[in-house]
Structure 1
């Protein structure tokens, strides 16, 4: 019998938006306006957003033991009014320790005709240096391979040495630079690409790197539905 894993990689849902906004705010505090995730999920056919959820069995058990009563008409109306007023505001979330699933990070990509472009990647502050960022990159590259998209591109701050080293580990190479790309401090961005990620040679390298990640940080599950749509 397979032991339950700590982390689950899956497609982002509308109900994840408050937590994803919370992670985005932690990672990019000067970013304004925040990403319109609801529009991205519902209207942008190019966009694919993947999240990593961490299960909290104790919180899930507590919620199961004390289920919410079936709402009547007035309760449903009040709930709709609350959603209109608060929208996807992370302030409406319970404390992290009370959530049945904690979103620990997310990655967004656009599937273009000739490339898959990574548009954003972020990790919750409390889960940094736990391999989450690498797990997200693995998920994105897995998606590219599933969609038979051999070219993956991204931009990264020239000062972000740790991220650049991670990308290079997975076969990304610098092909250019965008001057003053970031609006908060006008820092330049390196343009990185990984070619031929659908080849057999890359598959061998990818499998080895994923195994190294598993040995260091533990296994994680990927829902097949994360790659469809």
Structure 2
């Protein structure tokens, strides 16, 4: 994984990133957030923290992003996605590790997220990074009423894997 880490940069999301982020969002989710939703997150939500992943040799090329809300001592992952053509290279892992680092820096002790029951790839990533299932949100996803698994991670525990 160290080789791929040297090929990407991670930085705070800016307003000018939203068009590309929205494209990745649309390619990644059946009910994607709009550009307006991301704009509101960046401008109006004091709890929101968003990161983009770019290529080192093409810093204007956004290939992934992640967002979370950090409220008191908890971080809630709102979204995380890697552009389809860059998936399968453990970039999501790199991005989520950075999000954990930022969450800890902002005072979070725990991190939570929801994931589709059918999203085995994402579930395996989260489990590899120490997230544990904590419950089910029945019919959580509006497109097909699929259940969501609620997962939590204690950010003070070391990451296994």
TM-score (norm 1): 0.64
2:61 is aligned to 102
SS of the aligned residue for 2:144 comes to coil
User: Which protein is richer in strand relative to its size?
Assistant: 2
Q: Find out whether 1:149 has 2:108 as its counterpart.
A: yes
1:161 is aligned to 120
2:38 is aligned to 37
Structure 1: stretches of 5+ with no match in the other structure? 58-99, 210-229
TM-score (norm 2): 0.89
Higher relative contact order (CA 8 A, sep 6+): 1
- In structure 2, how many angstroms separate the alpha carbons of the residues matched to 1:111 and 1:32? 22
CA deviation map 1:99-130 (0-9, x unaligned) = x5210100010011241100101110110111
Larger radius of gyration: 1
Q: CA RMSD, aligned part only?
A: 1.8
**Cα pair 1:8 1:52 within 8 Å, conserved:** yes
Structure 2: stretches of 5+ with no match in the other structure? none
Distance 1:101 1:165, change over 3 A: same
1:54 is aligned to 55
User: Which protein is richer in helix relative to its size?
Assistant: 1
Equivalent pairs, count = 156
- In structure 2, how many angstroms separate the alpha carbons of the residues matched to 1:186 and 1:48? 28
Runs of 4+ in structure 1 off by over 2 angstroms are none
1:19 is aligned to 20
Deviation at 1:33, TM superposition (A): 5.6
- In structure 1, how many angstroms separate the alpha carbons of the residues matched to 2:151 and 2:61? 30
